[in-house]
Amino acid sequence: MLESAECPHFSTVLALDDSAYNLRNQLPEVGIVSLEAYLEQNPDVARDIEGRSRAEQIFSVGPSVLLSLADDVSPGGWLAYADSDLFFLSSLKDHLDQFKSANVVLAPHRHYLWNRWRLAKYGAFNVGLVAFRNNEEGLRTLRFWAESCLDWCFDRVEEGKYADQKYLESFSSIAAGVFVDASVGANLAPWNAPLGKIAMTESGRIVVDSQPLVYFHAQGLQKTRGRWVLGHLKYFSLASNRLKRHVYRPYLSKLEAWSSKPGFENFGTSRTPQKFSARVAARVTYAISLLLGQTIEVGRESLGASQ
């Protein structure tokens, strides 16, 4: 959640597990609310999403949580929904403030050419970050999104819908001022990251095609046997050495730094039991990723070393 240009930004985190909820002890300036507490305080929402999987419940309530924060943001300020796996390298507030006439800002997937047809069913826009102006047009769009997700939000493609993401394609018919942020430095991700166009300037700023990298979407990361397995292979792509050195390593170093803090002992480790077939698939993926240089081991190497 972001304020207007005249006011400092602040944020609210929807905690989905104990480690995230423990952030309240480490980051007292950030508002932390657990998913369970939110549902207890909003029984109508809890009733609407009853019977959905854990992942589907998370998809379903995100827009409603954001909408509930509108009164805390000054008129004209930004309400920004952000996934937990975004790594910000530039000021999001400064980036959004460039869109003076925008009421909603969406990020397109910008899929690799060979994936566009295959992945089109999941939507033209990515739900990793969606920003709404705190005005009539922005709130109308956010309210549509929240109500739609409570009505239907499942982890499957059905009748032109997919989870909370496909609804983004309807935003331009709901309100004016829906802006598509196609800058290469916004929502860089495993499905669109270039192989050799990332660099660090003399001042230490990371750029993509000479444009500042605003945020990276580190989707698909898994920790296996002490190594982080990158999420590029399922998009038939590889993370470049520059991407690993300038983006993944700093990001993973920050993530691993939390593992030494009280309450974060299980950080990065999945506690969800896996079926035998899933375990086999994970081992195969790990082996291929290791062979192709798509893993990173942070703890035993210097942070500036290349992979």
Burial class of residue 150 in the structure, from the number of CB atoms within 10 Å of its CB (0-12 exposed, 13-18 middle, 19+ buried): middle
Stretch 1-23: mean pLDDT: 64
pLDDT of 307 above 60: no
pTM of model > 0.85: yes
Q: What is the pLDDT of residues 145-185, one digit of tens each?
A: 999 999 999 999 999 999 999 999 999 999 999 999 989 99
What are the sequence ranges of the domains in the chain?
12-180, 186-296
As a 3-state breakdown, the chain gives helix, strand, coil percent values, each rounded to 5, of: 40, 20, 40
CATH says 12-180 is which class?
alpha beta
In 225-264 the beta strands, taken as DSSP E runs, fall at: 227-229
Instruction: Look up residue 112 and give its two tokens.
Output: 């690799």
Q: What is the pLDDT of residues 41-61, one digit of tens each?
A: 999 999 999 999 999 999 999
